[in-house]
């Protein structure tokens, strides 16, 4: 999902949350309700930086395409060695331990293991 679509989805979700909060009270949602919803769903600076680090790491390792990121996790597509196919994998970063966990269709894949190790090193350097 590109950044513009993600932003549009965030705004729509925030509006829906504001409407649902007011639905039971019979009152119309106010702009402050919408702003509160947006602040709750807006990514933190660390989450934005995580997204950038994941994308740089994917470009460095090669054969990996970032499909989406959320909080401190990412869904990626890993290209097969032949280049004719791809499979999905996920990575999750634990900020408390600094550990990156990776899993997918082929968890023992060298490309996935290399990406996980590279991402863990980049995150340790950044934070």
Structurally, the chain folds into a number of domains equal to: 2
Structural domain containing residue 10: 3-41
Residue 125: predicted pLDDT:
94
Cβ-based neighbours of 90, under 8 Å, separated by 6 or more: 73, 74, 75, 76, 102, 103, 104
Domain match, 82 and 104 both: yes
Residue 113: predicted pLDDT:
96
| Each residue's pLDDT expressed in tens, for the chain with a length of 127 residues | 455 555 555 545 555 555 555 556 666 666 666 566 555 678 899 999 999 999 999 999 999 999 999 999 999 999 998 889 999 999 999 999 999 999 999 999 999 999 999 999 999 999 8
Domain match, 21 and 58 both: no
| Element of type H or E holding 107 | none
Domain match, 54 and 16 both: no
Residue 95: predicted pLDDT:
93
Residue 122: predicted pLDDT:
97
- CATH code for position 58: 3.30.310
Residue 43: predicted pLDDT:
86
Cβ pair 28, 22 in contact under 8 A? yes
Residue 123: predicted pLDDT:
96
Domain match, 83 and 66 both: yes
Residue 61: predicted pLDDT:
92
């Amino acid at each position: 999902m590109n950044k513009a679509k993600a932003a549009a989805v965030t705004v729509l979700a925030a509006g829906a949350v504001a409407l649902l909060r007011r639905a039971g009270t019979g009152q119309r949602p106010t702009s402050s309700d919408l702003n509160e919803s947006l602040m709750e769903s807006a990514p933190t600076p660390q989450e934005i930086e995580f997204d950038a680090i994941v994308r740089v790491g994917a470009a460095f390792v090669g054969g990996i395409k970032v499909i989406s990121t959320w909080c401190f996790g990412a869904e990626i597509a890993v290209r097969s060695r032949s280049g004719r196919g791809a499979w999905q994998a996920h990575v999750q970063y634990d900020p408390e331990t600094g550990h990156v966990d990776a899993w997918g269709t082929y968890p023992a894949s060298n490309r996935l293991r290399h990406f996980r190790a590279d991402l863990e090193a980049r995150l340790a350097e950044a934070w």
